[in-house]
Structure 1
Amino acid sequence: MYAPIISYPSIPSYPLEVPDATGGSSFQLRKMERIAVHGKNDLLIPHRKDYYFMVLLWEGSGRHWVDTTAYTLKPDTLYFTVPHQVHLKEVLQPVSGFNLNFTEEFLALDSSGVLRQLPIIQNPQNGHELHLAPSDVAFVQDILEKAYVEYSAAQPWHRTVLLAYLHVLLVYLSRLYTEQYCTSEKADEAALLSKFRTKIDASYSRHHDVATYADMLHLSAGHLSEVVKAQSGKSAIAHIHERLVVEAKRLLFHTEYTSKEIAFQLGFEDASYFNRFFKRLTQQTPLHYRLATREMYQ
């Protein structure tokens, strides 16, 4: 039976809490041996994480919501999210695997900037799970085992070593990501699409037009639109609108904010225009969406 949907007046955002000093406050690696994930109450309500979250699972089951999508957990799978998405864990069966968490601050230790541009970090296709072949499980688990030894020992220069392990891991996962999500993209144009989506994530509540994002990327609006359309099959303005709809759905699904309050948070000056905008893109009014989705998952 599905867990009942319970809404909250606001969605809390949690920083990375590291129980020891081995990774500072920006890196955490935990090994899970049949851990029952139900002890911390805030995991069972909608919340955001302000860090990157990855789990390599080789045993266990259950469901984990990311935004308004539920994922049924499966062994031999890697689950991942980027900062500030909405999470909701339902009560899980005991799980075994590795949980890796790191912040933008830790990524910034990579002076080359390569890690920040990798597909698994940019996540242009908005994916959240990678299906691993046995050889992939073995490789990823081996890297995490080695990193866990280093993380636990906290030897001199351990952050440098951890960054090196993370570099290998993220490059490997990015190859798998590309195979599973974006096999047809050209590297340079795919990078532009990723940068465009990153700009949208940072500014969607303030800027709703393509020209502003083109200026941020030092491009003409026409060229940006052409590349985005070729890479994703969707127009540039569709990406902006979809990001607004995703956030609107998060707030409608997980909070009790009114349509007017949500419209204001998303940068709409007129609540009635927001209602028409939402209905045009979803074929539902905000109120109908809220009622229908909550009824569906009761």
Structure 2
Amino acid sequence: MNTLTVPVYSLEQDEFMSDRHFKIYHFEGDFPDRSELLIPHRKDHYLIAFIRKAGSRQWIDMNSFDLKDNTVYFFGPHQLIVKEEVKQLWSTGIAFTKEFLSLYGNGALLKLPLLVNPYNGYELELTAADILFIEELLQKLQTEYRQKGEWQQKMLSAYLTVLLTYLSRLYTAQYKGNEVNSEQQLLKRFQAKIDESYQQYHEVNDYASMLNISSGHLSDVIRSQSGKPAIKHIHDRLIMEARRLLFHTDQPVKDISFHLGFADTSYFNRFFKRETGLTPSAYRDQTRAIYP
């Protein structure tokens, strides 16, 4: 996928792993010189980070927040991330790709609430019991990570399964503890399809075909479950990506328009203004004045 000038970082192979699908990061105060993290970037993998102590601020998809002590943070592939500064950090991070889960028969984990993230959360508050459980599990993961052998990756996959399942239980309790019915599942599937295809497809009919249902039924369900029309979900996704690129890159509006699947820049300008009240250029100027 063309990401314009926003770099996408993959996992780097290290001495402990033979592939680039799983990695453990551990910092005790000193943080390596990674000045490239201070510029807008994306990751092509999942990252679960247990922050023991930190004081820096980050931006995720235009939302800013301060990292808190004794808190778990979680990020999915291709979210736009910016760190305001690189400070000392006491943390352990578990990074892994979709391929890592699939390779060991754990593809179903991709449907866990933490990874699906239906409520667009980024952090999990922990009790003392949660901290103890997670610390013990992270220690097991780190020990196994340093033991090369034919069972290494299977053991890592098993421990990761426990961690993701435990954190998904916390996620569900913290954000919303309701069971998801079939219509809510359709809403989530629709939103997932938009995330995959918003650059190529801008019409409800296209997504109804992907989901093998009629556009009328899709529209009715999406409106009843979300309170807004199906087409608005598509437009909102396009606007979010446009805002990311306008704020975080210097690409001309016409390039951003083409990247988002608009053949006519003037139509993109009218679309953006209708949805936000500002032209793309005015939005870029205004946001950069507020967040220089």
- The normalised TM-score by structure 2 is 0.92
What is the CA RMSD across the aligned residues, in angstroms?
1.9
Report the counterpart of residue 208 of structure 1 in structure 2. 202
Aligned residues of 2:16 and 2:146 also touching (Cα < 8 A) = no
**Distance of 1:112 and 1:101 partners within structure 2:** 15
Deviation at 1:97, TM superposition (A): 1.6
SS of residue in 2 equivalent to 1:153: coil
C-alpha distance after superposition, 1:159-196 (max 9, x if no partner):
11111111111112222222233334525444333322
Identify if the C-alpha distance between structure 1 residues 41 and 115 changes in structure 2 by more than 3 Å, giving closer, same or farther.
same
**Distance of 2:49 and 2:232 partners within structure 1:** 31
Report the counterpart of residue 290 of structure 1 in structure 2. 284
SS of residue in 1 equivalent to 2:213: coil
User: Taking every aligned residue pair, what percent have the same amino acid on both sides?
Assistant: 46
Q: How does 1:69-218 map to 2 (within 5 A)?
A: 69-111=63-105, 113-218=107-212
Report the counterpart of residue 34 of structure 1 in structure 2. 29
**Distance of 1:45 and 1:36 partners within structure 2:** 16
Aligned residues of 1:63 and 1:92 also touching (Cα < 8 A) = no
Which stretch has the larger CA shift, 132-141 or 67-76? 132-141
* 2:231 paired with 1:250: no
* 2:258 paired with 1:264: yes
- The normalised TM-score by structure 1 is 0.90
**Distance of 2:184 and 2:149 partners within structure 1:** 39
Letter in 2 for 1:32: F
**Distance of 2:131 and 2:231 partners within structure 1:** 38
**Distance of 1:138 and 1:222 partners within structure 2:** 50
Structure 1 unaligned segments of length 5 or more: list them.
1-8
Report the counterpart of residue 11 of structure 2 in structure 1. 16
Report the counterpart of residue 43 of structure 2 in structure 1. 49
Aligned residues of 1:253 and 1:290 also touching (Cα < 8 A) = yes
Deviation at 1:86, TM superposition (A): 1.4
Identify if the C-alpha distance between structure 1 residues 171 and 228 changes in structure 2 by more than 3 Å, giving closer, same or farther.
farther
**Distance of 1:185 and 1:54 partners within structure 2:** 24
Deviation at 1:293, TM superposition (A): 1.0
Identify if the C-alpha distance between structure 1 residues 160 and 187 changes in structure 2 by more than 3 Å, giving closer, same or farther.
farther
SS of residue in 2 equivalent to 1:108: helix
* 2:53 paired with 1:65: no
**Distance of 1:117 and 1:172 partners within structure 2:** 14
Identify if the C-alpha distance between structure 1 residues 73 and 46 changes in structure 2 by more than 3 Å, giving closer, same or farther.
same
